[in-house]
Amino acid sequence: MDIRYSCNQRDVKRYTTEELRKEFLIENLFVQDTVTAVYSHVDRMVTLGVMPVSETVPLDKGIDIWHNFGTQYFLERRELGMFNVGGAGKVTVDGTVYPLGYKDCLYITMGAKEVLFASDDGAKPAKFYIVSAPAHRSYETKLLKIADAAKKPLGAMETSNKRTINQFIHPSVLKTCQLSMGMTVLEPGSVWNTMPAHTHERRMEVYFYFEVPQDNVVFHMMGEGQETRHIVMQNEQAVISPSWSIHAGAGTSNYTFIWAMGGENQAFDDMDVIPTTELR
């Protein structure tokens, strides 16, 4: 497990491009029959990728649970959400099988002891993108299809940001301890996301960009609103966004991204907006 310790906005002002990428960017999430895990001390969020090809992969494969969490099993004091961004697959939670197709979402509550990942076809493997947050009580493990999501259209073609926010793990859809997750889909011709830019003083966020066409990139904007930075991101990469940082982006094409939030509350509109003309 890759451990990322918290950094502050004063130090980030002096970071080089390489230092920014090493601190916030998560690359190579999907490795055959492996659990890739990044533990961020920003609200203790864990970002994972699992791509089962030739075997069934347990959630804790290669992770020293006691050393990293001080618990007996991964979800003893945690909850998690996941999306399948690959071929059809299955997730087995304490003996119950949940089939996940492309863009399907699964929430697993605190207390689940055994979580297993498998692909229906190793030639077209599933890719499970996962974010886990600390939790203090259990709710209901639930499979969510795209039709189950609360849809929130935003933006316009004239401003190159026509998009639909699909809220999956969200208070309007199901109860969780603190984790919220959803998927934002940009329409062809639109490239900007999350504008006007804002911060979440009471929450952190992780973005995962996918459906980025070959030879295209997304410029992910971060940093304080008065002293912005950027990270150039490619397909199927994630980025950590602390509470003091904006989190917006513009691509060289349209794309899709998954957002995950955790912190003090689950109020989706609890944000501190920065007028676009005041960005520096």
Per-residue pLDDT for the chain (280 aa), expressed as one digit of tens each? 999 998 999 999 999 999 999 999 999 999 999 999 999 999 999 999 999 999 999 999 999 999 999 999 999 999 999 999 999 999 999 999 999 999 999 999 999 999 999 999 999 999 999 999 999 999 999 999 988 999 999 999 999 999 999 999 998 889 999 999 999 999 999 999 998 999 988 889 999 999 999 999 999 999 999 999 999 999 999 999 999 999 999 999 999 999 999 988 887 788 999 999 999 9
Hey, what domains does the chain have and what are their CATH numbers?
A: 2-278 (2.60.120.10)
Looking at residue 172, its pLDDT comes to 85
Q: What's the rounded Cα separation, in Å, for the pair 25 and 2? A: 12
* 130-143 burial code (b ≥16 CB/10 A, e <16): bbbbbbeeebebbb
Residues in the chain: 280
Q: What's the rounded Cα separation, in Å, for the pair 218 and 191? A: 9
The rounded Cα 145 to chain-centroid distance in angstroms is 17
What is the helix (H) or strand (E) element at residue 139, kind and residue range?
none
Q: What's the rounded Cα separation, in Å, for the pair 217 and 131? A: 23
3-state secondary structure of 276: helix
The shares of helix, strand and coil residues in the chain, as percent rounded to the nearest 5, are 10, 45, 45
For residue 94 the two structure tokens come to: 């304490």
Q: What's the rounded Cα separation, in Å, for the pair 87 and 54? A: 14
Looking at residue 96, its pLDDT comes to 98
For residue 127 the two structure tokens come to: 């890719």
Phi and psi at residue 65, to the nearest 5°: -60, -45
pTM beyond 0.75, yes or no: yes
The DSSP letter of residue 188 is: T
